[in-house]
Structure 1
Amino acid sequence: MPRHVLQFLLACFVSAENVAAADPEPEVQSLQPGVELSLVAEHPQLVTPTGLDVDSQGRIWVVATHTHLPADDYTGPSHDEILVFGANTPEAGNDGDSNRSDVRNPRTRTAFYNATTATMDLELGPDGWVYLAERDRILRIKDSDKDGKADIEQDLVVLNSDAVYPHNGLSGLAWHPNGDLIFGLGENFANPWKLTGTDQVAIRGAGQGGVFRCSADGENLRQLTRGVWNPFGTCVRSDGEIFTVENDPGERPPCRLLHVVDGGDYGYRRQFGGEAHHPFVCWNGELPGSLPMVHPTGEAPCGVATLGRGLLVPSWGDHRIDFMPLRRRGASYDADLKTIVQGGRYFRPTCIARDPSNDDDNRRVWYLADWVDGRYNAHGLGRLWKLEIDLTQAKDWLGPLELEPKNNAARLAERLRKDEGSFDRSQLMQHAGDDDPFIARAALVALSRKSPSWTVPEFRRWSADERQHAAQALALAKAGPETWIKALLTDTDPHVTFEALKWIAFAEQKAFLPEVEAILNRSDITYDLFEAALATWNTLNDKPGAGVRDLDLLLARVKDNDSSPVLRAFALRLLPTGPRPTSDDGPLVRSFPPGLNVDLLRTLLEVNDAMLSLEVVRTCAANAPATHALLTEIADDADRDPVLRAEAVAGLAAVSADHLDLLLRLCDYEQREVREEALRCLRSQELSQQQLAAVKQIGQRHPTSSDLVQAVTDLKSVKDGRPAVEDIKAWQSLLDEIESPPNAAAGRRIFHHARVTSCSNCHRHHGRGSVVGPDLTSLGERNTTDERASLLKSILTPSADMAPEFQPRTIVLKDGRTFTGIRLRSYTKEQLRDATGRTVTFNTGDVESIVDARVSFMPNGLADTLTIRELRDLIAFLQHNADASPTGLRNQTTK
């Protein structure tokens, strides 16, 4: 968990001392047939519980934590308790209301151990051993003299690190069918760490979490996966498939369910800070060589358990228990999410364990720990629940119980991971480019084992794709940097250079700082490579968290007259800005950071470089209220390039009502780019009858722009005669009927237009825009007909196939106000990232309800506000997969 989040939480603790009632109600209800939840025990019998397990006699073993950020006046024990609730007495009485129990007949309760701190999980092992995960060690304890108390303690895996936060260290215990112990390590605040097993095998790392395995006695320690945030809950199926849930997504919601495979990398790196964008970090397999999630989970899951073909996942932050049925998807899985139990504010389930003593053909039983309150510190509340599922009643939502057999893709990935099949280099290279990320990743791992035999001369003869795969494999193999990084940095393919920069940043190879600086000074650099080099430079200068948003560094580059105009343009684009509306219902604009002002932008314009001038205008467009005078000068300057003028006109969209005279004059201009951007700015403006009549005449003088004229004079008629939004083929035919060629540059202006679409309010593209929705930069890599159909469907019916990770939540406050956004976190406060990219925070006590919004942030009916040509150009821009910076833009002489 980032330090800024910790500070946020600690502040919450102060304001939340009296949040919980004396006996807060869980308000749980079953939502699916055959599901029953009943209370077994509660405070003061147990408090703030985390890990639990159930033995063959039906006894429940649970961790009651007293050391998790306790307040100064906390009165509980000084160490955590390992409690055992016996099965030899009737369970708690139940008066028919599963929300409450009078606990007339409590189970016996004994304290088995009371000597650990920051105890996150518990797993029962063979031969009477009880395995525990503390923040900084995996240990096992045992009752050797049969007195009901543990008297032997053995360390198995020890974590050495300066970090001390309770729950981003070790956790997530589970047994593999072969007898190995599986466990997780959180991101550890990016501090360096060392894991050591009982045979002194040691693994070192920093900046990321991972999943590990060792023998039951702590030997043969090895790392399975990397690139995770906090794998707090883990389970292993009977076929050996491993799944883990991540407890916290930070600034990258949602929390993830991951399919854990040997050698997997899931994209996250804590050392690169909390920004929602970093060129070397991904959350759902966006970067080559990384693996995607199976499916988003609820907020802050702490446990996961198997059920049939699916998984049970309690959600601490969403107060619920979900069932996630798994389906084979290539070499991995996808899933749905079905909520089976929903609770209120004081139902916060943590870990879950199946009762092996209580199964029969038609019934399954699990037990769940419940943290109860949203405060992170030990607070004296806790519950223990019994979850029963009648399989006959649950069959409609549960699906098949038998596991789905492996398919060909899964078998191939397994062979690649095990290095079976005697794959040669060319075969592995082919598999490394597979569309299935799990096959591609397995092939990269196999390639890394072959890389010691490679030489630089043969590497240079390979194709660009093969060299990119080789670069990833060499980094995995930790090949000799002196030989290989130098070769990769001088490669002609920017993707290979990108991989070299990522390798340098991950390994903190400070010896290559001069080479990185040389790349940052190259005038032929691409934008993506500039971002990568900038992030690497910051890392090598001990500022990895600065990422690509180092204000001082960027501003210095923007002002540097000796720098290439291209580099100054890229730096200008990356300067951090903040969103703000022009009015309560007005378009969104971006506020400038300190040091960036109109005078500096005028100075940059005088450099008279085509690309830098274009970047200046686009920067002005993002804050039109402050820069409208400069935009109008450029828009009205007949000596300037028409493309630059068109960008300036489009930039006036946010303040178009203040510049109607100029726009009305320009919409009759001979240069089509200028004319059509002026027409676009007039759309939805209140025009007089005389002005409307003048615009109608423009359609006669410039018939190629008649569709945009119609959109100004009668916008509702634009959609007349169009097919149903579900008829994608008919829409594709409409696009194909347009005689003029697609115009990606116009599509780019439409994408960023402050009034017509406002796509960049939510989406990022080549460094511009926001991160509320998915980054669309790489959307056009395939540029296929199928991709165009997919884009059309997303625009026409945005809520039909909404990606779960981008599903908005709606918070209704008790005063009647509503807010919709992407949920970031839920503790004693609720936080959303709204449609503008801003983070908004609410006190939990002010919240009436939180529901999943069934409607995407992307508005329905967007296509109704666009002409068919505009829709075609917008899709062309997204498919073009380029910055759409017109190379034909000539340098100008500035008046």
Structure 2
Amino acid sequence: MATNTITCFTRFRAARWAFVAVLAAVLLVAFRRQGGEGDQPRVLDSRLELTLFAENPDIVTPIGIAIDSLSRIFVLESHTHLPPKDYPHPRGDLIKVFVDSNNDGRPDRTTVFADGLTEGLNLAFSPEGHLYTVTSRAVWTLYDRDGDGVSEERRKVLELTHPASVYAHAALLGITFSPDGWMYVSRGNTGGQAWKLVGTDGSSVSGYGDGGNIVRARPDGSRLEEVATGFWNPMDLKFDATGHLLAADNDPDSRGPNRLVHVVPGGDYGYKSLYGGSGIHPYSAWNGELPGTLPYAAGLGEAPSGLLNASLAALPADYQGQMLSSIWEESRIVRIRLTPNGVSLTGEPEVIVAGGAEFRPVAFAADRNGAIYFTDWVLRDYPNHGKGRIWKLSARPGTTASRPRSPNRAAGPNDGDRPLTELYASLDADQLTTNLQSTDPFRQHAATVAFTKPALRQPLIKATADASPAVRLGALIALHRAGHEPAEPIARRLLSDPDGRVRQRALMWIGQVGMVALKPELERALTAGPVAPALFDTYLETVAHLTPDFVDAFKNRSELYSKSIKRTLPPRFIEKFIGDRTKPADLRALAIRHLKNPAEQGPLLVSLLTTETAAPLRLDAVRALANVSDPTVATQLLRMATNRAEPALVRAEALLALARQPTDVSTGVQTLLNDPNPDVQLEAVRYLRTRLSTADARKLFQPRLASLRTHPDSPMAQQLTLAGTAPGGNAPKRPTSLAAWESVLATGGMPERGRRVFYSVQATCSSCHAIEGRGGDLGPDLSNVGRSKSRTQLIQAILRPSQEISPEWQGWSIRLKNGEEHQGRQIDVGGKEIELYTQAAGFVTFPMKDIQDYGLIKTSLMPEGLESQLTVDDLRDLLAFLQAKK
């Protein structure tokens, strides 16, 4: 359910797509509107108005925008993003200049400032008044020394020299300038490839397997240095009114939400490309979940593309100090009300402009009078398509508006971060130790960074034995960041720390540095105190990190894509762990979740049911057996389901697992229709629905339904109705429209029941989606979906899956010359073959010579009509379960 956009603009692997563009030449029309007609955007703040300033053919597929001191509007017009075959436009990107000299709301003159750019993304003026443009591979300064409105010189000030090839919107992305003259540039994650960015003086930054980052340099490209890391694709970055640097970061496939990030020096925001595109990994974080990573300031909608400091515009006074962001995928513009949160910021977005399917806002700029102009890609299509608009957003006549702040007179870049700046510079170990114990993660971070100074090494080592777990944790992180040697003695000691977070972070230090000598001692982390699932997952990942093959491959960068380097546990490591009765039952239960192929471990799992008494171990064994097709397994599951001495949760899960078994045990399950436990009853009905014909179901369930007529909306009555029993006039009424469904499903539900709905054969959710390692991978992992999606968004995604299709989950079809048709996602088109990811077989390669046709599927790969197989209470429970995944 995560996405990128046309400033992110996709995560697809494809380098080329063959499309036929449908172009429209429309006369320019200027109009003002507060509301909207048809597919035009609507302004939701009655004090503002929206004006169409320009549209195609005068501007097509616009991205970046910047406005100079003369209020000339410079717009980057994309022609090289993904041009379709026979694209009837320039071969290079243009920078056009629009001038509205008589202030009538439409351009009087349009000229071309520069052309011939490739994969342009963003524009910005430096404090000195020079125009800079970011392309995927370089940052350029464009000069117009004679003032004729045409650039006669361009200089490359930064260059991405590696990798040799990378998708445009995972490379260089955004640009801004601080009032003190530094140039800040954002970089995407380069798909996990090794990268190197070089300045004009030879200064450079580089990485492999890290996340995207923010760098800075002088305007001439010298003194290049990294500012922060741990991003996915930070599409834009801007300073706010008080000098905080903020970035709009798109989210990985399964780790939402998109986020507004307060960027501070040395900040790590959690994402690492080494661990793949999902964003879900024990060594990764997204909202400061891991020690040493920082949280975001605000969650944003799908595909934030541009940012604007609202104080630069002439807007009502309550916009002062706020940020505006374009939300490309959701066709919206939001204002973010930022408020102090310790020494950082927090805020909530509020929609101020909303449009339909043909409104895709991208980037902002404000003129000297405080009017806001923004670009509109118009269509959701990624290839260059010939549509485009520029809008003007301003206060309505008569509205009291604040005077716009000059961008070159804004607060200094560190004014808002002054408390952190003082900590960064500190050499006072006592002061830093105190801040390591702060509840403010940004103070903790600044103290950690300050503690990395060589002059503080001895008090830092001493701090690893402090009485406070927070101090020990901060000291450990600082030693890791500083590259302290020798590391092994301290890491070995901290493996036995009584605090679980310290042990977890010690494991990460050992794994990321590659302390192979400590591999035999890793299990200390599991015996020194309580073990949370996250700590156990980190333990397993650390074992895999210390495999010599992985250590060597990562060190030597043996794979083009870092995420392709295999990290594997020793042979039968998990099986041996599960079978070791000297280990605690709760840890063995956690290990069951990591079985790669439960179908090969049927005897082991069944033995747990016959020899073990610990409920957690038995429950996880039952859940794993759902994927083990065997008559012996079915017999054992039925025995557990019908045994009233078993916990009700285990019995219900046994019935859920039985539904996936080929053996029909309907006769045994029928006795459970009268079971005293309602959860067991519900699962019994679900099982029988998959085994009985409508006639047989009616015969079996009719007597049961008769006793429920006084409660036709009860969960059992709803199940029996869907099973085919005719309840007459007492049938539970079901919604008939999306709005009605949203109303009925707005609240309620039981998460534990919802888990069983998710994994049921009726819902089929787990066929394509995984949660915490269980399920399919044709769709996004939903382990953290409750963090990124509201209940309303979840309802819409379930009931109207084709309404908004995230780009990386876009369906594709291939029709072969022999008549076969294949569907999947993540298509990769090459010169001689096409690769498609399918549910049944993963990646499948088709030779181009065998292909008749291929293209986008207009509907979602997720089927329509899911609700027809589920009761209203099923859906409520499912939503409650998904919402709880945070």
TM-score by length of 2: 0.68
The answer on whether the counterparts of 1:113 and 1:150 sit within 8 Å (CA) in structure 2 is: yes
Map 1:509-548 onto structure 2 (within 5 A).
Answer: 509-510=513-514, 512-513=515-516, 515-516=518-519, 519=522, 524=527, 526=531, 527-539=533-545, 541-542=549-550
Q: Deviations over 1:63-83 (max 9, x none)?
A: 122222333423433332222
Partner of 2:90: 77
Partner of 1:195: 197
When structure 1 is superposed on structure 2, of 535-544 and 74-83 the one drifting more is 535-544
Partner of 1:103: none
**What SS does the aligned partner of 2:541 have?**
helix
Deviation at 1:54, TM superposition (A): 0.7
Kindly indicate whether residue 304 of structure 2 is the aligned counterpart of residue 304 of structure 1: no
Deviation at 1:20, TM superposition (A): 6.7
Partner of 1:557: 573
Pair 765,17 (structure 1): closer, same or farther in 2 beyond 3 Å: closer
Map 1:741-760 onto structure 2 (within 5 A).
Answer: none
**How many angstroms apart in 2 are the aligned matches of 1:146 and 1:655?**
77
Partner of 2:74: 61
Kindly indicate whether residue 345 of structure 2 is the aligned counterpart of residue 341 of structure 1: no
**How many angstroms apart in 2 are the aligned matches of 1:498 and 1:548?**
25
**Which of the residues 637, 652, 655 maps onto 1:652?**
655
Q: Deviations over 1:359-398 (max 9, x none)?
A: 2xxxx31111222222323333322222222386488xx9
**What SS does the aligned partner of 1:204 have?**
strand
**How many angstroms apart in 1 are the aligned matches of 2:565 and 2:573?**
12
**How many angstroms apart in 1 are the aligned matches of 2:417 and 2:801?**
44
The answer on whether the counterparts of 1:323 and 1:338 sit within 8 Å (CA) in structure 2 is: yes
- Tell me the number of residue pairs that the alignment of Structure 1 and Structure 2 aligns: 731
Aligned residue identity for 2:800: T
Map 1:699-848 onto structure 2 (within 5 A).
Answer: 805-809=789-793, 818-819=800-801, 824-825=806-807
Aligned residue identity for 1:268: Y
Kindly indicate whether residue 575 of structure 2 is the aligned counterpart of residue 574 of structure 1: no
**What SS does the aligned partner of 1:303 have?**
strand
The answer on whether the counterparts of 1:809 and 1:821 sit within 8 Å (CA) in structure 2 is: no
Partner of 1:435: 439
Partner of 2:256: 253
Kindly indicate whether residue 365 of structure 2 is the aligned counterpart of residue 353 of structure 1: yes
Deviation at 1:48, TM superposition (A): 2.2
**How many angstroms apart in 2 are the aligned matches of 1:138 and 1:204?**
16
Partner of 1:584: none
Kindly indicate whether residue 48 of structure 2 is the aligned counterpart of residue 41 of structure 1: no
**How many angstroms apart in 2 are the aligned matches of 1:824 and 1:153?**
37
Deviation at 1:184, TM superposition (A): 0.9
The answer on whether the counterparts of 1:52 and 1:62 sit within 8 Å (CA) in structure 2 is: yes
Pair 195,594 (structure 1): closer, same or farther in 2 beyond 3 Å: same
Kindly indicate whether residue 393 of structure 2 is the aligned counterpart of residue 387 of structure 1: yes
The answer on whether the counterparts of 2:623 and 2:657 sit within 8 Å (CA) in structure 1 is: no
Aligned residue identity for 1:453: Q
**How many angstroms apart in 1 are the aligned matches of 2:47 and 2:792?**
30
Aligned residue identity for 1:134: T
Partner of 1:142: 143
The answer on whether the counterparts of 1:811 and 1:820 sit within 8 Å (CA) in structure 2 is: no
When structure 1 is superposed on structure 2, of 185-194 and 412-421 the one drifting more is 412-421
Aligned residue identity for 1:470: A
**What SS does the aligned partner of 1:53 have?**
strand
Pair 824,72 (structure 1): closer, same or farther in 2 beyond 3 Å: closer
**How many angstroms apart in 2 are the aligned matches of 1:107 and 1:648?**
75
**How many angstroms apart in 2 are the aligned matches of 1:844 and 1:713?**
38
Kindly indicate whether residue 479 of structure 2 is the aligned counterpart of residue 474 of structure 1: yes
Pair 826,562 (structure 1): closer, same or farther in 2 beyond 3 Å: closer
Higher relative contact order (CA 8 A, sep 6+): 2
Q: Deviations over 1:487-514 (max 9, x none)?
A: 3564334433321332345x4x34x245
Aligned residue identity for 1:315: I
**What SS does the aligned partner of 1:110 have?**
strand
Pair 211,5 (structure 1): closer, same or farther in 2 beyond 3 Å: closer
Pair 807,691 (structure 1): closer, same or farther in 2 beyond 3 Å: closer
Aligned residue identity for 2:270: G
The answer on whether the counterparts of 1:187 and 1:228 sit within 8 Å (CA) in structure 2 is: yes
The answer on whether the counterparts of 1:305 and 1:312 sit within 8 Å (CA) in structure 2 is: yes
The answer on whether the counterparts of 1:811 and 1:819 sit within 8 Å (CA) in structure 2 is: no
**What SS does the aligned partner of 1:279 have?**
coil
**Which of the residues 243, 265, 268 maps onto 1:265?**
268
When structure 1 is superposed on structure 2, of 38-47 and 163-172 the one drifting more is 38-47
**How many angstroms apart in 2 are the aligned matches of 1:859 and 1:332?**
45
Q: Deviations over 1:743-765 (max 9, x none)?
A: xxxx9977866699999989999
Pair 215,652 (structure 1): closer, same or farther in 2 beyond 3 Å: same
**What SS does the aligned partner of 1:344 have?**
coil
Pair 252,668 (structure 1): closer, same or farther in 2 beyond 3 Å: closer
Q: Which runs of 5+ in 2 are unaligned?
A: 28-37, 311-319, 408-413, 555-560, 689-696, 708-713, 720-749, 813-823, 826-838, 841-854, 861-869
**How many angstroms apart in 2 are the aligned matches of 1:618 and 1:218?**
57
**How many angstroms apart in 1 are the aligned matches of 2:488 and 2:571?**
35
**How many angstroms apart in 2 are the aligned matches of 1:446 and 1:418?**
10
Pair 761,371 (structure 1): closer, same or farther in 2 beyond 3 Å: closer
The answer on whether the counterparts of 2:758 and 2:765 sit within 8 Å (CA) in structure 1 is: no
Deviation at 1:191, TM superposition (A): 1.7
Map 1:302-701 onto structure 2 (within 5 A).
Answer: 302-307=305-310, 308-356=320-368, 359=369, 364-390=370-396, 393=399, 414-419=418-423, 424-449=428-453, 452-454=457-459, 459-460=464-465, 462-480=467-485, 482-483=487-488, 486-487=491-492, 490-493=495-498, 494-505=500-511, 507=512, 509-510=513-514, 512-513=515-516, 515-516=518-519, 519=522, 524=527, 526=531, 527-539=533-545, 541-542=549-550, 556-560=572-576, 564=580, 569-575=589-595, 595-596=599-600, 598-599=602-603, 601-602=605-606, 613-620=618-625, 627-634=633-640, 647-648=650-651, 650-652=653-655
Pair 203,683 (structure 1): closer, same or farther in 2 beyond 3 Å: same
What RMSD in Å do the two structures reach over aligned CA positions? 5.5
**How many angstroms apart in 1 are the aligned matches of 2:782 and 2:466?**
40
Deviation at 1:195, TM superposition (A): 2.6
**How many angstroms apart in 2 are the aligned matches of 1:90 and 1:400?**
18
Pair 846,278 (structure 1): closer, same or farther in 2 beyond 3 Å: closer
Q: Deviations over 1:272-330 (max 9, x none)?
A: 11235211222222223322222222322221101122112122222222222222233
Deviation at 1:33, TM superposition (A): 1.0
Q: Deviations over 1:830-864 (max 9, x none)?
A: 999xxxxx99xx979669xxxxxxxxxx9999999
Deviation at 1:517, TM superposition (A): 6.3
Partner of 2:732: none
Aligned residue identity for 1:447: F
The answer on whether the counterparts of 1:136 and 1:158 sit within 8 Å (CA) in structure 2 is: yes
Pair 524,236 (structure 1): closer, same or farther in 2 beyond 3 Å: same
Aligned residue identity for 2:261: L
**Which of the residues 170, 181, 187 maps onto 1:179?**
181
TM-score by length of 1: 0.67
Aligned residue identity for 1:652: L
The answer on whether the counterparts of 2:173 and 2:235 sit within 8 Å (CA) in structure 1 is: yes
Q: Deviations over 1:764-783 (max 9, x none)?
A: 9987799977759xxxxxxx
Q: Deviations over 1:167-209 (max 9, x none)?
A: 2222221121222222211111122222333333322223211
Deviation at 1:256, TM superposition (A): 1.2
**What SS does the aligned partner of 1:46 have?**
coil
Deviation at 1:659, TM superposition (A): 6.9
When structure 1 is superposed on structure 2, of 629-638 and 299-308 the one drifting more is 629-638
Deviation at 1:607, TM superposition (A): 7.2
Deviation at 1:354, TM superposition (A): 0.6
**How many angstroms apart in 1 are the aligned matches of 2:804 and 2:429?**
44
**How many angstroms apart in 2 are the aligned matches of 1:34 and 1:334?**
25
**How many angstroms apart in 2 are the aligned matches of 1:691 and 1:563?**
43
Deviation at 1:55, TM superposition (A): 1.1
Pair 63,234 (structure 1): closer, same or farther in 2 beyond 3 Å: same
**How many angstroms apart in 2 are the aligned matches of 1:283 and 1:458?**
28
**How many angstroms apart in 1 are the aligned matches of 2:503 and 2:423?**
28
